[in-house]
Amino acid sequence: MEEKRKNKRTDLKVTAELSVLGTTGETKIVEADILDLSPTGIGFTCNDTLEIGEVYMTKLKIWTEETISAILKVVRCTMMGDTPVYGGIFVGMENSDILRIQVYQMFSDNEQKEVEE
């Protein structure tokens, strides 16, 4: 399969809270399990059915126990057995949070290289 991502994804096992404001003014909140992360998006699973094109306010608890807030747009859904795996791109995120992700990836890559040696 051809890689179409703009940035390298790094495995990350954390949870996130996604909330969308519906047309009725009601906020829908769902929990997601993050599979991987890049400065431009995430891959995740979710027990709720999400629609491609939906936009969510995302609270992502990261490895430092801090929370990153970002606006996420769902852009794909594939099935892994019976489980839907979603892909989303960040359409709004603070530059400082993008830098946190990049730093995490640098340290994560170095740790993996040390384990392989």
Segments of the chain with pLDDT less than 70:
1-15, 21-26, 108-117
What's the one-letter identity of residue 37?
L
The confidence score (pLDDT) of residue 31 equals 87
Burial degree of 74 (CB within 10 A; 0-12, 13-18, 19+): buried
**Token pair for residue 9?**
């994804």
The confidence score (pLDDT) of residue 101 equals 82
Domain ranges of the chain: 10-116
Q: Fold for 10-116, please state it.
A: Thrombin, subunit H (2.40.10)
The confidence score (pLDDT) of residue 17 equals 72
What pTM was estimated for this model as a whole?
0.74
For residues 13 and 3, the answer to whether their CB atoms sit within 8 Å is no
**First-to-last C-alpha distance (Å) of the chain:** 29
